[in-house]
Structure 1
């Protein structure tokens, strides 16, 4: 009724919201999981809050995002053993509850999430299960959490190979040009600066005032903000002009002028038809 996030932000383009599932990893010491949902405990009041699949979808319906995510049972990417299989199958069951709870299926696109840790068999099974629900798009989750690059790209490839080509795919948690500028943050004594924020586009101070290093004396916050924004614009334009593979090769040559690419990078690019 109030217009949701689009009106609040005065933003007429697409918005994606997450389900809250990642907080099972980031707030692991403050929660426990049951079939009902995730039970979080406030560190201040000790009050318990239940985040169920239904509640997650209810919140996202109210926010009005164009793409909303299912609540999944998320485990750290390096987890092994029966907990990974348990989480994968629970995520499928929770997906069914999310689909049933979605009050705006014609306006908001609900994406399920491929899980299964670093186990190829579980990844394939997860993809097969969620594809049976015929959702408008699919996400690959549970990665980029400390696993090595070879494990990462292989799990992405296996997951993608078992999803339909005709629907969008969203690889969660990835960011560095070699990884996609990752977090776009500068670490300083007081914490970190998120240089992707719009306010830094006109901030001409040094990264850390008073620092005598070359970077701080030479580059402004505004410049580094523009680098992150420019990269994403160039990626988007190369996709529109159907020259993304050339863009990838040219960009990686800037990072590896001798073309001494890491094996994981060459293999991962080759798996999607880009030969370095």
Structure 2
């Protein structure tokens, strides 16, 4: 029987924010939590040991990509994903639904599943709810996501309704495909586009099936930030109190803070790692584009308030030099800093919830950014 469990530890009195703990067979996950994305069995630009050092509790890997290359059978043969990538803490795998959605004309959705053409070699495949579960079980994931269709924005209401109902039927097939007593926890994914009544319907359909956790899908797909927050604010309180709540593919530090305020426990996004490789770095006072000429002779650390390895040892001038010179170390150091920043942000949020000071933490977060805009000396 799965060791998976969620415990609600604190509930904020001024918002929907909550402090909790997820227990898995590979360790506890303190929530709210940000999960670094390791699409191809690696979080780009950082060693697993460094991920642990900066406080990463769980990482995310991708079903679609690992199915195509190197193949879930090979990973299973080699001892599972944890051994394959040298990571002994929990792993969540998404179902492949978003990747299939992003293929556009290269895929066709039917009741059976998603027929698609591989972006790797052009080969043709059919990804079904049953195969998605089979792949994720072979990988040895601690948390498995149901296979769903990610709805684009904007979309016709009739299409949204049809897709949402199909995703609910697929979710039921995923539940049935996961054997009783599995060590993996299964999360349902709420769809419904930007239609409140369809979001509610999706929640009700998933709750009837029953899952160990619940996620909001179909967000951060091109909608305005205010609309994304509206969807969170409406949908998250509909989910069971005694199950973890996960908003998929979100986002900026501001998104994480606002998601927590609306009741979210788990987040993932490629933003800290992708932006690091593009020279955009997160700090306590906002973002820095390190390629800018004003950092050419800047001796200061990237963020004077940051205690990461990068800020303790390197100047902005050096980080700019590495980036302008296209040195590999630029991606390594930038990634380390950005992921450290995200982990520290979540740690600070958790601490504020324990202390009953989340409102003050949230206010101070924005005050620092506002002060910097008024006096942009950095």
Question: Normalising by the residue count of structure 2, what TM-score does the alignment of the two structures yield?
Answer: 0.58
Q: CA separation in 2, counterparts of 1:247 and 1:36?
A: 47
Alpha-carbon distance change, 121 to 215 in structure 1, aligned in 2, over 3 angstroms: farther
1:14 matched to 2:90: yes
Q: Secondary structure at the match of 1:22?
A: helix
CA contact (8 A) 2:93 2:141 kept: yes
Deviates more, 1:54-63 or 1:244-253: 244-253
Aligned-residue offset at 1:128? 0.8
Which one has the bigger strand percentage?
2
CA contact (8 A) 1:235 1:244 kept: no
CA contact (8 A) 2:188 2:214 kept: yes
Aligned-residue offset at 1:88? 0.4
Match of 1:97 among 168, 173, 184: 173
Aligned-residue offset at 1:258? 9.3
Match of 2:127 among 29, 39, 51: 51
Alpha-carbon distance change, 223 to 33 in structure 1, aligned in 2, over 3 angstroms: closer
Match of 1:135 among 211, 234, 238: 211
1:256 matched to 2:370: yes
What's 1:153 paired with? 229
Q: CA separation in 2, counterparts of 1:71 and 1:85?
A: 17
Q: Secondary structure at the match of 1:78?
A: coil
Q: CA separation in 2, counterparts of 1:120 and 1:214?
A: 47
Deviates more, 1:20-29 or 1:162-171: 20-29
Alpha-carbon distance change, 153 to 43 in structure 1, aligned in 2, over 3 angstroms: closer
What's 2:361 paired with? 247
What's 1:183 paired with? 271
Q: CA separation in 2, counterparts of 1:233 and 1:43?
A: 36
Residues 152-175 of structure 1 show CA distances to partners (whole Å, capped at 9, x for unaligned) of 111111111210111101000101
RMSD: 3.0
Aligned-residue offset at 1:43? 5.8
Note the 1:1-276 alignment, pairs <5 A.
2-42=78-118, 46-103=122-179, 105-180=181-256, 183-184=271-272, 185-186=274-275, 192=278, 213-215=293-295, 218=298, 219=316, 220=319, 221=330, 222=333, 225-240=336-351, 242=354, 243-257=357-371
Aligned-residue offset at 1:259? 11
Q: CA separation in 2, counterparts of 1:86 and 1:26?
A: 19
Aligned-residue offset at 1:212? 6.2
Alpha-carbon distance change, 86 to 41 in structure 1, aligned in 2, over 3 angstroms: same
Question: Normalising by the residue count of structure 1, what TM-score does the alignment of the two structures yield?
Answer: 0.78
What's 1:199 paired with? none
Alpha-carbon distance change, 94 to 193 in structure 1, aligned in 2, over 3 angstroms: farther
Deviates more, 1:213-222 or 1:35-44: 213-222
CA contact (8 A) 1:71 1:94 kept: yes
Where does structure 1 lack aligned partners over 5 or more consecutive residues?
197-206, 261-276
Q: CA separation in 2, counterparts of 1:249 and 1:3?
A: 47
Residues 119-154 of structure 1 show CA distances to partners (whole Å, capped at 9, x for unaligned) of 000000000110112211000000111111221111
Of structures 1 and 2, the one scoring higher in RCO (CA 8 A, sep 6+) is 2
CA contact (8 A) 1:235 1:247 kept: no
What's 1:270 paired with? none
